[in-house]
Amino acid sequence: MRISTKTIGRLSHYRRLLAELLEKGQTHVYSHELARLEGGTAAQVRRDLMAIGCTGSPAKGYDVAVLLKDLEGYMPPAECRRCVLVGVGNLGRALLSYFVGRDSQYTVVAAFDADPERTGRVIHGCRCHPLEELDAVVTGESVKVAMLAVPVEAAQGVADALVRSGVVGLVNFAPVRIWVPEGVYVESVDVSMRLERASFYACQRTRGDVK
């Protein structure tokens, strides 16, 4: 059975929430509690968990530790949670600090930048290489996933280079569509669209026709 992209996104979220609950010492959780934390409905949570074969008990709900383990078993294994970053401007540095927290599941094994001013240094524990070393590092480390935080003009070229070096999963922060071969997956984070949508609904309300 094929699990939808939306469900995968929510499973990721549930995992984060469960890790927090476990840390707090909570041993069991009901679907409606997870739903409230996640912003969805109880039925939705149960469906998502059902999709990957997780079960709970009517009496106590879901066992937090078991559920977390199941989710971790379903989500990418450690070797897929190593990624690289291209572009070490403000956004790139923000991403590095984002993934340096010790509870983060992901590791940025290397960063790259075209600007010599930014390379050769270690930022947030991550070595910053010149772009020329991209292929050697990505191939050498067998990295499959990359984050793209470069200017619009550079995005497609860098994406091509990454794909050539074996990357098959990309998170693109540049506000431009990038083309990749069949079999490569792209997540586009489009900040200006998000801001525009927020403004749109903010406006609607101001105009007085909410909902």
Partner DNA sequence: CGATGTGAATAACTTCACAGCA
Partner DNA sequence: TGCTGTGAAGTTATTCACATCG
Binding site for DNA (CB under 7 A): 4-7, 30-32, 40-44, 46-47, 49-50, 54-59, 61-62
User: Which listed residue (34, 147, 155, 159) binds a copy of itself by CB under 8 A?
Assistant: 147
* Helix, strand, coil share of the chain (percent; to 5): 50, 20, 35
Distance separating the N- and C-terminal Cα atoms of the chain: 36
Nearer to DNA, 10 or 118 (CB): 10
> Is residue 12 a contact point for a copy of itself (CB under 8 A)?
yes
> Is residue 19 a contact point for a copy of itself (CB under 8 A)?
no
Shortest separation between residue 31's beta carbon and DNA, angstroms: 4
Among 32, 65, 47, smallest CA distance to 1 is for 47
Instruction: Evaluate whether 31 touches 62 at the Cβ level (below 8 Å).
Output: yes
149-168 binders of a copy of itself (CB under 8 A) = 167-168
The listed partner (DNA, a copy of itself, none) that binds 59, CB under 5 to 8 Å by sort, is DNA
Nearer to DNA, 36 or 164 (CB): 36
Q: What is the rounded distance in angstroms from the CA atom of residue 200 to the CA atom of residue 195?
A: 9
Q: What is the rounded distance in angstroms from the CA atom of residue 171 to the CA atom of residue 188?
A: 6
> Is residue 93 a contact point for a copy of itself (CB under 8 A)?
yes
User: Which listed residue (19, 35, 37, 100) binds a copy of itself by CB under 8 A?
Assistant: 37
What contacts 24+ positions apart, CB below 8 Å, involve 69-75?
Answer: 71/11, 71/14, 71/15, 71/18, 72/15, 74/11, 75/11, 75/12, 75/15, 75/105
> Is residue 210 a contact point for a copy of itself (CB under 8 A)?
yes
Q: Is the dihedral of CA 66, 72, 78, 84 positive or negative?
A: negative
Q: What is the rounded distance in angstroms from the CA atom of residue 118 to the CA atom of residue 46?
A: 47
Q: Which two tokens stand for residue 93?
A: 């540095």
Stretch that binds a copy of itself, among 21-29, 36-44, 61-69, 156-164 (CB under 8 A): 36-44
Shortest separation between residue 57's beta carbon and a copy of itself, angstroms: 26
Binding stretches for a copy of itself (CB under 8 A): 5, 8-9, 12-13, 16, 37-39, 75-77, 80-81, 83, 89-91, 93-95, 97-99, 104-106, 144-145, 147, 167-171, 175, 177, 182-203, 205-211
